[in-house]
Amino acid sequence: MRNNGSNLSLRVWQSLVLVGVFAGWHVITAPDLLPPFYFGDPNRAAFLFGEPLRVFGRIWDWFTGGEIYRHLWVTLVETLLAFLIGTVLGIAIGIWLALAPRASAIFDPYIKAANAMPRVILAPIFFVWFGLGIASKVALGVTLVFFIVFFNVYQGVKEVSPVVLANARMLGASPRQLLRYVYLPSAMSWVFASLHNSVGLAFVGAVVGEYLGSAEGVGYLILQAEGVFDINTVFAGILVLTAFALVLDWIVSLVEKRLMVWQPRSSETERI
């Protein structure tokens, strides 16, 4: 009961903070509520920061008119494809290099160089290769997801207990069985632990790609509004993307709880 009361109190305070932020936003951008404070121009603040009532009105029009759903679907498809492809490539190459020391030593400087490169600069190249459709956004997202998965898988395989390996080999496990029952579970535990970061980076890649050049997607809506200095639509797109990212994070949390059910909680490990 005490935990339920504490959680309820926490939710109330979080809601009050959110209401306070939007109330403050409304007050400073409404020229009739406060004296002009931005270079003496009563409309300057509204031009720079938008007006929350108009922002929410734009979001309402998007959802009631159905315009936003096609763009949200495109962004979701780009995010999921980038996540899946980047994760599969990261797992495959991470396991391969972790089990092949010679190949790992050869490719090590190139992987570090590619990881150090700002991947956003690859967007124009992907636009030339794949056009302004979904493929270029997926490619950009894959470059972001791949490295976080790769390094987690590589570390997970490297940290397999030598005792476990020795016991498995003593029991007659073949290389394929070692891969399936020892290396892969160890690697996947690291992948599951980084699910939030992986999905988040896939989402960032999709939105940034849409913003830099696209014909659909929520990032495209923001770009179009920015081109005509429609700050209310820009903020509307940002709020929609923020809510969308929170929904994705919530879904990932549910998946993580299902897949990591075997992992003991901290309270349980403290009692042992």
C-alpha span between 137 and 144 (Å, rounded): 11
pLDDT per residue as tens digits for the range 24-83: 777 777 766 666 555 555 566 666 777 788 888 888 888 888 878 888 898 889 888 998
| Nearest residue to 76 via CA among 232, 197, 239, 251 | 251
| pLDDT at residue 85, as a whole number | 92
| pLDDT at residue 266, as a whole number | 44
Please give the average per-residue pLDDT across 182-199, as a whole number: 74
Label residue 270 by pLDDT band (50, 70, 90).
Answer: very low
| pLDDT at residue 81, as a whole number | 92
C-alpha span between 269 and 7 (Å, rounded): 23
pLDDT per residue as tens digits for the range 80-100: 899 899 988 988 888 888 888
| pLDDT at residue 208, as a whole number | 85
| pLDDT at residue 41, as a whole number | 58
Mean pLDDT value across the chain: 78
Contacts of 173 (CB under 8 A, 6+ apart): 181, 182
C-alpha span between 92 and 182 (Å, rounded): 15
Contact 153, 98 (CB under 8 A): yes
| pLDDT at residue 38, as a whole number | 53
What angle, 0 to 180 degrees and rounded to 10, lies between the N-to-C axes of helices 184-193 and 67-99? 140
Backbone angle region of 264, left / alpha / beta, with phi > 0 → left and psi within -120 to 50 → alpha: beta
Q: How many helices (H) and strands (E) does the chain have?
A: 14, 0
Please give the average per-residue pLDDT across 128-153, as a whole number: 88
**pTM for the full predicted model:** 0.77
C-alpha span between 191 and 147 (Å, rounded): 11
User: What proportion of the chain, given as a percentage, has pLDDT over 70?
Assistant: 79
Reduced DSSP (H G I as helix, E B as strand, rest coil) percent helix, strand, coil of the chain, to 5: 85, 0, 15
What angle, 0 to 180 degrees and rounded to 10, lies between the N-to-C axes of helices 195-212 and 134-158? 160
Backbone angle region of 238, left / alpha / beta, with phi > 0 → left and psi within -120 to 50 → alpha: alpha
Q: Give the pair of three-digit tokens for residue 213.
A: 């050049």
- Domains defined along the chain, listed by start: 1-49 (no CATH), 66-271 (1.10.3720.10)
Label residue 259 by pLDDT band (50, 70, 90).
Answer: low
Label residue 261 by pLDDT band (50, 70, 90).
Answer: low
C-alpha span between 237 and 180 (Å, rounded): 44
| DSSP E strand boundaries for 23-143 | none
